[in-house]
């Protein structure tokens, strides 16, 4: 991504050289002569008399390393180091390196430049490249001018450029094989259509990330005023420490920090992940810890739209909103319910007696995502956030809807006939959600602009915000008491052997169940003992057991080294005695337990980043982007990555606030966020970074080294409420799990087990009875549901909850999702998009996928759903005098008004009132291979990066001093020993490492080695033939051709 940023910022020289080309077109036939002339001019500019003399040395070293020279031969390399070199050249010379790319493009085109290439040259000459916006109203909205679209995607990209959806998914090579350029001459080069499409997509995604960091950080904990106004002469966006993030005097560890001469975390508090998450950042001990306030990604005054806090909000919604308005149960029943062709075989999601395979609950199926992936994200969210305390909200109760609906655009009470037809329940009752502070927020003024210091209401995150596997290990004293360690080896988690499990005796064991003396809620009785037992399911049982086994597998491997090399250096160090070598035999059980937690946490973060997410977002730009987040764009070229890491170190120290944050975020994509700052080399000249003899001088005695890799971009890290919203992924769940057995015929569906029968203690019982391997096979083979309208599991709309104090003792989870979002002040869909830098919609018809043929049955279904949206949310007569947002302007720079471009006084759709979840489920047009919507994705762009940027243990403290040498190798290689490599190619990539989750399953479920042999990504349906370039076809592998799932 650093390459793309550097390249596309290079405009002036490209314009100059294009004009040179026009003037000397006859020289084009000489090909290389023209290119050499341009290169010569570029290097003369670069080495002008006042240039840094060290630059020549660094370039020479770079040339020696690659065995080439700065010329045409070097530039025609299509991957890796040459790309890094171009970025490097730009950074040091501040001269447009991409002019060389233009010259190569002209040569390879044989001077007969195709239409798209001409468009590219025009774009470069006109300087038609989007830059990082200086103010919110100028930000990039994912739309590019026609010429740029044509350059990056040809006629196809131009055809759909007028839609509200982002342009990059229409570029070359961003879809399946049909998106690849038909041209063959340039295809293999860095400058060909496919590379342009991919790099253009990556550039635009990176530009969005940079602007999201710049415009979408709103902390609720009291630091926002300093973010806007600065502190003691330091600009807010580069502040990295805050008084609000210090421990209060009554905190148990307050004296530990106060007794430190430097008044920062030290000693045992920084060695490992603490239970409550304090001291991850040694300068901000409270950051990310349990009970900190959720942040926001949207302007404070746009939250809680039903409160009508200002004139703009009133203009936007016209008094049409309320906590139960529009009615959440009516929305659920009309827009979320799965239609059933055979209702008697589904029974509202509860299936048939004895879980017979004849049961059938219809659902719209995801293309390339399996049920394991669904439960994985539940496993993750339990680590990241929780609004409730031990599964409890406030004690007060409230109604949950099923009271009114719009009839001919007028709100009317539901009749008994309406209620029966809808299937909703007026007597449902739910607890009110907890609130930390609902007093009016203080305001302040800066540069004449008024601001709130926080949102009108705030809530607390009752778990740690770090990627620390707190769902396994605990997030406070009470939860940690539920974690059971092996009394025979306290470095291990306790696992019980179960001889009754299906198949062979499972020697690796299962987690024990809770005991009566454990600190648990009554409804958790019978579940596996683990730190976070809320909403227990068969999928959570699976992943908790698997990673408990993985924890113990790491301990066993470490014990082998203790036996083999007891006196060898383990790599571990104690910050209190950093000079003392800790041998393998010296590592205590407590130390080893905490090291294992570090390893498991990092391993989980890696799985989520480069395996789960790349299957969720199944296309080449996101494969490259997510791997860049973790490894770096140039991970196969360590010298280039180190160059970019040094750039980041220098940017972090610059006084240019805006440039520092923007470029830090951008170049981290080149170096990789994971492990940032975990090495430091003597001196700063770039040539030292390509010197293989360089010395790492990172030291455990330096606080700046320990904490040096983190960057919070001026705002303390915690997850925002909006991040929670986009993880409302219930449509991914089927109602029934297609149960199979690995040691019989895996192609045969033996039973269809209702998920409702695998909740809470039932999950534990059925896990033990049927076996971990069979559940892995069943969930690995079955497709997830599609995230779209009318696809919520029926059982969740009729969830039986005996502990509820209501007449029905049931709850509609789909309706509850809407209520919780409203309680927490999530802006409605259109303003939500504007806040995140996306184009607004102007009518419900905008949701329809215009890529589909007019007579398509799918398009007709989308049209019917649009009519239902209009029926539920209604219309109003618009007034163009009412301005409805300050987040964006119209294309002509005028304020956006109530009419959204329609004539004044016309009746328009209430698109502004649509609940955000409803809106993104209605996004029928999505980038190729995306299981989620564009709106959800942009929230991920920001927060998926921040949770890596801010975590010391995933950046500068990812070192043997904390993880041990084995721990570092385990995370880097996906397990012990050298990296395992997959055979063959996948999506054009060959010789890829065996994925981290696959390695985990091979260790913890070795009996599945045969089933996993052809699996490339564990979260892709296991028996699906992945085909060629990002195919989403539902086609069986040869071994699964008899599987009934492929006959449908």
- pLDDT tens profile 444-454: 999 999 999 99
Find the mean pLDDT for residues 289-301: 98
What is the percent of the chain with per-residue pLDDT over 70, rounded to a whole number? Answer: 82
Cβ atoms of 281 and 707 within 8 Å: the answer is yes
How confident is the model at residue 394, as a pLDDT?
Answer: 87
Find the mean pLDDT for residues 685-696: 57
Which helix (H) or strand (E) covers residue 605, if one does? helix 589-607
* Residue 530 domain-assigned (yes or no): no
Nearest in space to 298 (alpha carbons), one of 681, 834, 664: 834
Cβ atoms of 793 and 735 within 8 Å: the answer is yes
Higher pLDDT, 270 or 680: 270
* Residue 132 domain-assigned (yes or no): yes
How confident is the model at residue 973, as a pLDDT?
Answer: 96
pLDDT digits (tens, 9 = 90+) for 227-263: 999 999 999 999 999 999 999 999 999 999 999 888 9
How confident is the model at residue 662, as a pLDDT?
Answer: 60
- Beta-carbon neighbour count of residue 1009 at 10 Å? 10
* Residue 832 domain-assigned (yes or no): no
1000 exposed, middle or buried (CB, 10 Å; 0-12, 13-18, 19+)? buried
254: left (phi over 0), alpha (psi -120 to 50) or beta: alpha
Find the mean pLDDT for residues 994-1023: 97
Cβ atoms of 351 and 795 within 8 Å: the answer is no
Residue 82: band (very low, low, confident or very high) from pLDDT cuts 50, 70, 90? very low
Find the mean pLDDT for residues 536-561: 98
- CA-CA distance, 469 to 473, in Å (whole number)? 6
- Beta-carbon neighbour count of residue 311 at 10 Å? 11
Look at residue 499 and tell me whether its pLDDT is greater than 70: no
The domain total for the chain is 1
How confident is the model at residue 651, as a pLDDT?
Answer: 46
Cβ atoms of 927 and 886 within 8 Å: the answer is no
CA distances from 902 to 846, 879, 881 (A): 14, 10, 13
How confident is the model at residue 1048, as a pLDDT?
Answer: 62
How confident is the model at residue 125, as a pLDDT?
Answer: 62
How confident is the model at residue 656, as a pLDDT?
Answer: 55
Q: Give the chain's length.
A: 1048
497 exposed, middle or buried (CB, 10 Å; 0-12, 13-18, 19+)? exposed
> What pTM, to 2 d.p., does this model score?
0.89
Which helix (H) or strand (E) covers residue 106, if one does? helix 98-108
**HSE (CB half, 13 Å, CA atoms) of 446?**
13
- CA-CA distance, 676 to 231, in Å (whole number)? 27
Find the mean pLDDT for residues 412-441: 97
Cβ atoms of 614 and 623 within 8 Å: the answer is yes
The per-residue pLDDT of the chain, averaged, comes to: 86
Find the mean pLDDT for residues 283-300: 98
Phi and psi at residue 476, to the nearest 5°: -160, 180
* Residue 394 domain-assigned (yes or no): no
Residue 92: band (very low, low, confident or very high) from pLDDT cuts 50, 70, 90? very low
Q: Residue 410: helix, strand or coil by DSSP? A: strand
Among the listed ranges 49-58, 677-686, 763-772, 816-825, which one has the minimum average pLDDT value?
49-58
Look at residue 296 and tell me whether its pLDDT is greater than 60: yes
Nearest in space to 409 (alpha carbons), one of 911, 918, 909: 909
CA distances from 251 to 23, 246, 973 (A): 73, 10, 39
Range of the domain at 148: 2-211
Among the listed ranges 60-74, 211-225, 797-811, 1000-1014, which one has the minimum average pLDDT value?
60-74
Cβ atoms of 989 and 637 within 8 Å: the answer is no
How confident is the model at residue 199, as a pLDDT?
Answer: 87
Cβ atoms of 104 and 120 within 8 Å: the answer is no
* Residue 437 domain-assigned (yes or no): no
pLDDT digits (tens, 9 = 90+) for 697-747: 999 999 999 999 999 999 999 999 999 999 999 999 999 999 999 999 999
Nearest in space to 384 (alpha carbons), one of 900, 950, 762: 950
Sign of CA dihedral 424, 425, 431, 435: positive
Residue with token string 């470490």: 558
- CA-CA distance, 643 to 632, in Å (whole number)? 12
Phi and psi at residue 45, to the nearest 5°: -65, -40
Look at residue 654 and tell me whether its pLDDT is greater than 70: no
Find the mean pLDDT for residues 291-314: 97
Torsion angle of C-alpha atoms 443, 445, 446, 450, degrees rounded to 10: 80
SS3 content of the chain, % helix, strand, coil (to 5): 45, 10, 45
* Residue 418 domain-assigned (yes or no): no
Q: Which residues touch 693 (CB under 8 Å, ≥6 apart)?
A: none
Nearest in space to 943 (alpha carbons), one of 378, 281, 209: 209
- CA-CA distance, 924 to 885, in Å (whole number)? 25
Look at residue 489 and tell me whether its pLDDT is greater than 50: yes
Look at residue 402 and tell me whether its pLDDT is greater than 90: yes
Torsion angle of C-alpha atoms 725, 729, 735, 740, degrees rounded to 10: -140
Residue with token string 């360690």: 485
Look at residue 930 and tell me whether its pLDDT is greater than 60: yes
* Residue 152 domain-assigned (yes or no): yes
Higher pLDDT, 691 or 606: 606
CA distances from 162 to 159, 170, 531, 567, 888 (A): 8, 12, 50, 68, 18
Look at residue 392 and tell me whether its pLDDT is greater than 70: yes
Q: Residue 95: helix, strand or coil by DSSP? A: coil
- CA-CA distance, 4 to 129, in Å (whole number)? 12
What's the angle, vertex CA 405, arms to CA 404 and CA 410, rounded to 5?
Answer: 110
Which helix (H) or strand (E) covers residue 35, if one does? helix 32-46
How confident is the model at residue 29, as a pLDDT?
Answer: 36
pLDDT digits (tens, 9 = 90+) for 4-60: 333 333 333 333 333 333 333 333 333 334 433 443 444 344 334 344 444 344 434
* Residue 768 domain-assigned (yes or no): no
- CA-CA distance, 14 to 871, in Å (whole number)? 53
What's the angle, vertex CA 958, arms to CA 953 and CA 963, rounded to 5?
Answer: 95
Residue 184: band (very low, low, confident or very high) from pLDDT cuts 50, 70, 90? low
How confident is the model at residue 668, as a pLDDT?
Answer: 54
């Amino acid at each position: 991504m650093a390459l793309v940023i550097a390249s596309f910022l290079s405009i002036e020289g490209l314009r100059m050289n294009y004009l040179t080309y026009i003037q000397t077109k006859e020289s084009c036939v000489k090909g290389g002569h023209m290119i050499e002339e341009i290169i010569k001019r570029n290097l003369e500019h670069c080495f002008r008399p006042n240039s840094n003399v060290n630059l020549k040395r660094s370039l020479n070293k770079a040339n020696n390393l690659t065995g080439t020279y700065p010329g045409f031969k070097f530039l025609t390399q299509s991957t890796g180091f040459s790309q890094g070199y171009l970025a490097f050249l730009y950074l040091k010379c501040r001269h447009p390196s991409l002019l060389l790319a233009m010259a190569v493009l002209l040569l390879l085109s044989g001077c007969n430049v195709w239409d798209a290439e001409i468009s590219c040259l025009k774009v470069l000459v006109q300087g038609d490249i989007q830059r990082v916006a200086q103010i919110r109203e100028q930000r990039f909205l994912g739309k590019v001018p026609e010429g740029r679209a044509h350059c990056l995607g040809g006629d196809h990209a131009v055809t759909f450029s007028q839609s509200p959806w982002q342009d990059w998914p229409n570029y070359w090579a961003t879809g399946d094989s049909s998106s690849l350029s038909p041209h063959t001459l340039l295809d293999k080069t860095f400058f060909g259509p496919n590379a342009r499409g991919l790099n253009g997509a990556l550039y635009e995604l990176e530009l969005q990330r940079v602007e999201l960091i710049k415009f979408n950080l709103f902390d609720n904990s009291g630091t926002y005023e300093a973010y806007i106004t600065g502190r003691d002469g330091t600009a807010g966006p580069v502040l990295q420490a805050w008084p609000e993030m210090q421990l209060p005097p009554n905190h148990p560890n307050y004296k530990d920090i106060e007794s430190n001469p430097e008044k920062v975390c030290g000693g045992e508090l920084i060695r490992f992940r603490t239970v409550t998450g304090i001291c991850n950042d040694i300068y901000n001990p409270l950051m990310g810890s349990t009970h900190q306030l959720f942040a926001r990604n949207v302007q404070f005054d746009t939250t809680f739209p039903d409160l009508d806090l200002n004139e703009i909000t009133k203009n936007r919604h016209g008094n049409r909103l309320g906590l139960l308005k529009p009615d959440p149960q009516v929305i659920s029943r009309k827009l979320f319910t799965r239609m059933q062709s055979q209702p008697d075989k589904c029974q509202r999601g509860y299936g048939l007696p004895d879980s017979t395979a004849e049961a059938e609950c219809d659902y719209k199926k995801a293309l390339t995502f399996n049920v394991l992936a669904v439960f994985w994200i539940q496993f993750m969210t339990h680590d990241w956030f929780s609004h409730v305390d031990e599964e409890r909200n406030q004690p007060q109760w409230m109604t949950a809807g099923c009271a009114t609906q719009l009839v001919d655009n007028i709100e009317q009470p539901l009749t008994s006939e309406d209620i029966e037809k809808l299937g909703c329940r007026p007597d449902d009752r739910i607890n009110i959600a907890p609130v930390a502070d609902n007093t009016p927020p203080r305001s302040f003024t800066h540069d004449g602009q008024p601001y709130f210091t926080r949102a009108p209401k705030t809530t607390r995150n009752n778990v740690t915000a770090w990627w620390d596997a707190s769902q396994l290990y605990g997030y406070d004293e009470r939860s940690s008491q539920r974690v059971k360690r092996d009394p025979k080896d306290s470095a291990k988690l306790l696992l019980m052997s179960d001889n009754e499990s299906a198949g062979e005796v499972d020697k690796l064991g299962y987690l024990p169940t809770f005991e009566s003396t454990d600190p648990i809620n009554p409804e958790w009785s019978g579940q596996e003992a683990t730190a976070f037992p809320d909403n227990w399911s068969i999928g959570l049982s699976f992943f908790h057991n698997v990673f408990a086994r993985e924890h113990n597998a790491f301990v066993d491997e470490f014990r082998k080294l203790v036996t083999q090399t007891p006196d060898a250096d383990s790599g571990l160090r104690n910050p209190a005695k950093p000079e003392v070598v800790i041998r393998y035999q010296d590592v205590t059980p407590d130390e080893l337990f905490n090291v294992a937690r570090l390893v498991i946490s990092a391993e989980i973060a890696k799985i989520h980043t480069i395996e789960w997410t790349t299957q969720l977002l199944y296309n080449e730009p996101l494969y490259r982007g997510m791997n860049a987040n973790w490894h770096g764009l140039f991970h196969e070229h360590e010298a280039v990555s180190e160059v970019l890491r040094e750039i980041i170190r220098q940017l972090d120290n610059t006084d240019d606030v805006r440039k520092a944050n923007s470029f830090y975020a951008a170049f981290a994509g080149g170096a990789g966020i994971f492990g940032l700052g975990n090495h430091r080399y003597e001196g700063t000249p770039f040539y030292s970074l390509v010197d293989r003899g360089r010395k790492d001088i990172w030291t455990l005695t330096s606080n700046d080294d320990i904490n040096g890799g983190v960057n919070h971009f001026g705002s303390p890290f915690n997850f925002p409420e909006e991040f929670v919203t986009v993880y409302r992924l219930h449509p991914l769940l089927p109602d029934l799990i297609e149960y199979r057995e690995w040691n019989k015929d895996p192609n045969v569906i033996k039973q269809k087990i209702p998920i409702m029968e695998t909740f809470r203690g039932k999950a534990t019982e059925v896990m033990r009875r049927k076996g971990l391997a069979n559940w892995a096979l069943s969930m690995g083979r079955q497709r997830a549901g599609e995230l779209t309208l009318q696809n919520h599991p029926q059982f969740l709309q009729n969830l039986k909850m005996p502990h509820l104090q209501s007449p029905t003792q049931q709850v509609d989870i789909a309706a509850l999702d809407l209520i919780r979002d409203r309680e927490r002040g999530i802006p409605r869909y259109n303003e939500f998009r504007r806040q995140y830098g996306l184009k607004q919609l102007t009518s419900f018809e905008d949701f329809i996928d215009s890529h589909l043929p007019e007579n398509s049955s799918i398009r007709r279904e989308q049209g019917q759903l649009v009519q239902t949206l209009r029926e539920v949310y209604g219309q109003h007569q618009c007034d163009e005098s009412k301005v409805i947002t300050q987040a964006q302007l119209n294309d002509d720079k005028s304020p956006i008004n109530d009419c959204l471009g329609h004539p004044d006084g016309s009746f328009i759709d209430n698109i502004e009132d649509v609940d955000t979840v409803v809106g993104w489920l209605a996004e029928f047009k999505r980038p190729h291979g995306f299981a989620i919507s564009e709106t959800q994705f942009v929230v991920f762009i920001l927060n998926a990066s921040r949770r890596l940027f801010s975590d010391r243990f995933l950046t500068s403290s990812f070192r043997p001093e904390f993880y041990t040498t084995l721990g570092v190798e385990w995370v880097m290689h996906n397990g012990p020993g050298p990296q395992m490599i997959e055979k063959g190619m996948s999506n054009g990539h060959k010789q890829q490492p065996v994925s981290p989750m696959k390695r985990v399953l091979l260790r913890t479920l070795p009996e599945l080695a045969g089933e996993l042999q052809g699996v490339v990504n564990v979260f892709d349906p296991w028996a699906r033939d992945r085909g060629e370039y990002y195919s989403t076809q539902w086609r069986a592998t040869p071994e699964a051709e008899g599987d009934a799932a492929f006959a449908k």
